[in-house]
Amino acid sequence: MTRYLDYSATTPVDERVLEAMMPYFTQEFGNANSLYSLGRDAFRTLEAARESIAKNIGAEKPSEVIFTSGGTESDNAALIGVLNKIAPEGGAHIISSAYEHHAILEPLAWLEKHGYEVTLVKPHTDGHVYAEDIEAAMKPNTKLVTVMHANNEIGAVNDIKAIAEVAHKHGALMHTDAVQSIGKVPFNAAEMGIDLASFSSHKIYGPKGIGALYMKAGTRFDPIIKGGGQEKRRRSGTQNVAGAVGFARALEIMMEEFDTENARLAALRDSAIEQITARLENTEASINSGDRLPNIAPLLIKGVEGESMLLQLDNLGFAVSTGSACSSGSLEPSHVLLSIGVPQEVAHGSLRISVGRHTTQQDIDDLVEALVPIVERLRAMSPVYTRMFCS
Amino acid sequence: MIYSDKVMDHFNNPRNVGVIEDADGVGEVGNPTCGDIMKITIKVDDNDTITDVKFQTLGCGAAIATSSMVTELCKGMKIQDAVKISKQEVAEELDGLPAPKMHCSVLATDGLKVAIDDYLKKHGREPLAGEIKSADPNFDPHADEDDAHHDDED
């Protein structure tokens, strides 16, 4: 039996979500753009899903929600779609942070190659991006600011409202990647004053392959996916009605269970951090205070290599994640940990435990029992552990 | 990126772990910044045969498995043959390594080379391996990156 503790990577589809989706595969399969009743019914279902999502993210109008294939597409569309429209010849400046997801960093690198200027602001060692640092990076030609709402490796939650105020004060648009935060911390697009936001369904017990881009009414945009003009010409392609229904239902459940579930997850997170740091010397949480997600325990286990820990935990049936270089296929450890000032040799020992709907206290207790001897064994096998930490 | 069963076997049950206290040769390569460090200690008899070998490694699954495999391969070998064990040979014995992991097998063979040269130097003899980049405390594994990818395409 696998004990799944990697809910920030993905989540299982909730049974209630699956049930809501089922009719739309084989029976109510119509194309939402067809004029006959099967198509019109699909259209109504799609619009009901849009309305539900709009309400739960604090959009003022359902039409501000555009369905996409997921978080990565939403991020690409937000950055490239907006800049292509407002500065088609390049020359505009974009501010972001150094610990964004690659779905932001890679489109930014592409934009940089195509005549745009990019500044990546460093987060502080407390894990947060500060509005004053964004302000200090402003230039007369800054057109867009994009900062993630919650970081996927360390769980830090940023004050997007404050950053949006700075962006708007300087005439720039504000985008946030809310893939990790939605349903776990309060999110209201209108109150936060943002222009664009990215969401994904599979992080909240919905199906993979569907997400959304929030785009405030009136935002100038050139679609990156061109074709039949669906989604009010902002994202072509036949809409994924079953996916939209699943995503909407998944978000509804997150909101219905918001208070009780997030308090329960935060207690599990804290239990994991407390037990592991108490039982193992030279371990700490990379961030352990301030505004953060209830479900990520970001640990640094010094003097071991993350992939070794991950594989040995997997042998015992525990699925966790690491930001070590060796797990990613690159030689650099996590850019997130390095950006908040974690030294390279410590970043190699990162362990991300992310809890979710099916995690119990027993799972956390069992994980700790499994992890302690694994770390002790790996440290005993290390030629440098004593030299590095016990002198 | 998936490890072969043989890599997982050597990772889960590494052979020859530890330190030979009265070793004839000691080699240490890698550094904490790059994430992989290997230390190898060898006993060598009067006929230049490696009679015992032990290792310690801080690193990923591939680093531990390649270290373990190198110790198995070199035990009972003449140092003149052991110094020639290549990273390709180690990877092949493990039924292959994923491309980004090829640099780990360099570390294992380098560790053995440094230990052999250490033994030779202690006996006033000419080293066989010569300069080993990863024995430098400022070793940068990135220098090897392209090389590692080419190896996998062979």
3-state SS string over A101-127? CHHHHHHHHHHHHCCCEEEEECCCCCC
Return all residues near A22 (Cβ < 8 A) that are at least 6 apart. Answer: none
Pairing of strands A350-354, A296-301: antiparallel
pLDDT of B153 over the 80 cut: no
Could you give phi then psi for residue A297, rounded to 5 degrees? -105, 100
Could you give phi then psi for residue B100, rounded to 5 degrees? -70, -5
pTM, to two decimals: 0.93
Among A323, A5, A305, smallest CA distance to A152 is for A323
Encode pLDDT of B32-67 as tens digits: 777 789 999 999 999 999 999 999 999 999 999 999
Report the complex ipTM: 0.88
Which of A:277-316 have CB within 8 Å of B?
Answer: 303-308, 311-312, 315
The reply to whether residue A344 touches residue B59, judged by beta carbons under 8 angstroms, is no
The reply to whether residue A348 touches residue B35, judged by beta carbons under 8 angstroms, is yes
Closest chain B residue to A315 measured between Cα atoms? B12
- Give the ranges where chain A is alpha helix by DSSP (H): 15-21, 23-26, 37-57, 71-76, 82-86, 102-113, 131-136, 160-169, 189-192, 230-233, 241-256, 258-279, 306-315, 325-328, 335-339, 344-347, 361-381, 385-389
First to last CA, chain B: 18
The confidence score (pLDDT) of residue B142 equals 55
Give the DSSP per-residue string, A279-348.
HSSSEEES--SSSB-TTEEEEEETTS-HHHHHHHHHHTTEE-B---HHHHTSSS--HHHHHTT--HHHHT
Encode pLDDT of A207-245 as tens digits: 999 999 999 999 999 999 999 999 999 999 999 999 999
The reply to whether residue B36 touches residue A305, judged by beta carbons under 8 angstroms, is yes
pLDDT of B154 over the 70 cut: no
How far is C-alpha A28 from the chain's CA centre? 32
Could you give phi then psi for residue A280, rounded to 5 degrees? -120, 125
The reply to whether residue A381 touches residue B34, judged by beta carbons under 8 angstroms, is no
Contact residues on chain B for A324, CB-CB shorter than 8 A: 35, 60
- Average pLDDT (A45-72) is 98
Contact residues on chain B for A384, CB-CB shorter than 8 A: 32, 37, 58
Residue of A309, A331, A337, A351 to mutate when probing chain B, most B C-beta within 10 A: A331
Q: How far apart are CA A34 and CA A43, in angstroms?
A: 8
The confidence score (pLDDT) of residue B130 equals 81
Return all residues near B153 (Cβ < 8 A) that are at least 6 apart. Answer: none
Closest chain B residue to A342 measured between Cα atoms? B33
Q: Which residues make beta-bridge pairs with A337?
A: none
Give the DSSP per-residue string, B13-70.
S-SSBS--TT-SEEEEEEETTTTEEEEEEEEE-TTSBEEEEEEEEES-HHHHHHHHHH
Q: How far apart are CA B19 and CA A283, in angstroms?
A: 26
Q: Annotated active-site positions of A, please?
A: 326
HSE, side-chain direction, 13 A CA sphere, residue A124: 11
Q: How far apart are CA B13 and CA A227, in angstroms?
A: 56
Determine contact, residues B79/B116, Cβ cutoff 8 Å. Answer: yes
Task: Provide Rg for chain A, Cα atoms.
Answer: 22
- Mean pLDDT (chain A, rounded): 96
* Residue B93: its H or E element: helix B87-93
Three-class DSSP category at B92: helix
Determine contact, residues A124/A130, Cβ cutoff 8 Å. Answer: yes
* Residue A147: its H or E element: none
Which of these ranges, A26-35, A146-155, B3-12, B128-137, has the smallest mean pLDDT? Answer: B128-137
The reply to whether residue A308 touches residue B39, judged by beta carbons under 8 angstroms, is no
pLDDT of A54 over the 50 cut: yes
Q: How far apart are CA B82 and CA A182, in angstroms?
A: 57
Among A47, A10, A14, smallest CA distance to A250 is for A14
Query: Which carries the bigger pLDDT value, residue B10 or residue A391?
Result: B10
Q: Does A345 touch chain B (CB under 8 A)?
A: yes
- Average pLDDT (A77-82) is 98
